[in-house]
Amino acid sequence: MAGAHLVGAVVMAFVNGETHLPDQRTVYDDAIDEFAALRTQIARIGTNVNQIARRLNSDGDPHPVDASVLERAERLLSTAQDAVKAVDEAAFRAAGQKVGRA
């Protein structure tokens, strides 16, 4: 059992008032871990887009080419935010499925 999983299992067992730990990971554990990794990657994209937009906006009025890039960056940031929300919802559903089967 991985260290992070062990800590999570101990905390969840305590929260649920259980006295035993699960013996092995489930497909739901794996899915939740994958969702967490995906969320981190998408959030990094959003951070990079924000940094680009901040740089382009730092000199006052943007150059016409910069304005086009800023518009696309805004759409990309919105898409990244929507993707993070969708990943969070999927992880929440996977956690609910895991609890329902425990």
Tell me, yes or no, whether 8 lies in a domain: no
Tell me, yes or no, whether 75 lies in a domain: yes
pLDDT at 31: 87
pLDDT at 4: 67
Among residues 10, 26, 36, the alpha carbon closest in space to that of 102 is found at 26
pLDDT at 95: 83
Question: What type of residue is 72?
Answer: R
pLDDT at 19: 63
Contact 38, 87 (CB under 8 A): yes
Domain encompassing residue 93: 25-101
The label of the residue with tokens 């969708």 reads: 86
Contact 2, 21 (CB under 8 A): no
Tell me, yes or no, whether 64 lies in a domain: yes
pLDDT at 82: 93
Tens-binned pLDDT, residue by residue, of the chain (102 aa): 456 666 777 677 777 776 666 666 778 888 888 889 999 999 999 999 989 888 888 877 777 788 888 889 899 999 999 999 999 999 888 888 877 665
Number of other residues whose CB lies within 10 A of the CB of residue 35: 20
Tell me, yes or no, whether 31 lies in a domain: yes
| Total number of domains constituting the chain | 1
Tell me, yes or no, whether 14 lies in a domain: no
pLDDT at 25: 72
Tell me, yes or no, whether 7 lies in a domain: no
Tell me, yes or no, whether 10 lies in a domain: no
Tell me, yes or no, whether 5 lies in a domain: no
